[in-house]
Amino acid sequence: GDSVTQMEGPVTLSEEAFLTINCTYTATGYPSLFWYVQYPGEGLQLLLKATKADDKGSNKGFEATYRKETTSFHLEKGSVQVSDSAVYFCALSDKGFQKLVFGTGTRLLVSP
């Protein structure tokens, strides 16, 4: 079945450092890919998405590119802030944006 693999955390960075969180997927078809973020005490929020190969999703300075050839959707940000500290989940869906298969999540800790 479909699956998503993320790098284990926590990822610990200093403010203004460059961020990469790796995500690879296995799917039989051509899924849509997502990054969700969970801030402490809050519900999951959609951060960005891409629906086809070579699409780049972006939001709040975060970017991820749908790479079909490497089945990857790595999350990047050029300069992280303390407020970016959260758990980040990579996910896919074969149909629409709702029935999602999630990775295990990666905790990001950003220190001043």
Partner 1 sequence: GAGVSQSPRYKVAKRGQDVALRCDPISGHVSLFWYQQALGQGPEFLTYFQNEAQLDKSGLPSDRFFAERPEGSVSTLKIQRTQQEDSAVYLCASSATGYATNEKLFFGSGTQLSVL
Which one of the spans 15-23, 61-69, 72-80, 90-98 is the region binding partner 1 (CB under 8 A)? 90-98
Binders of partner 1 among 8-27, rule CB under 8 A?
Answer: none
For β-strands 106-111 and 86-93, DSSP reports them as antiparallel
Binds partner 1 (CB under 8 A): choice among 74, 84, 92, 103: 103
Contacts of 107 (CB under 8 A, 6+ apart): 9, 10, 11, 86, 87, 88
User: Which residue number, 17 or 22, has a Cβ lying nearer to partner 1?
Assistant: 22
Q: Provide the minimum distance between the beta carbon of 15 and partner 1 in the complex, in angstroms, as a whole number.
A: 27
CB 104 within 8 Å of CB 25? no
Binds partner 1 (CB under 8 A): choice among 18, 46, 54, 60: 46
Query: Nearest-CA neighbor of 82 among 19, 21, 31?
Result: 19
User: Which residue number, 69 or 95, has a Cβ lying nearer to partner 1?
Assistant: 95
Report d(CA 106, CA 88) in Å as an integer: 5
Q: What residues line the site for partner 1 (CB under 8 A)? A: 4, 32, 41-46, 51, 89, 91, 95-105
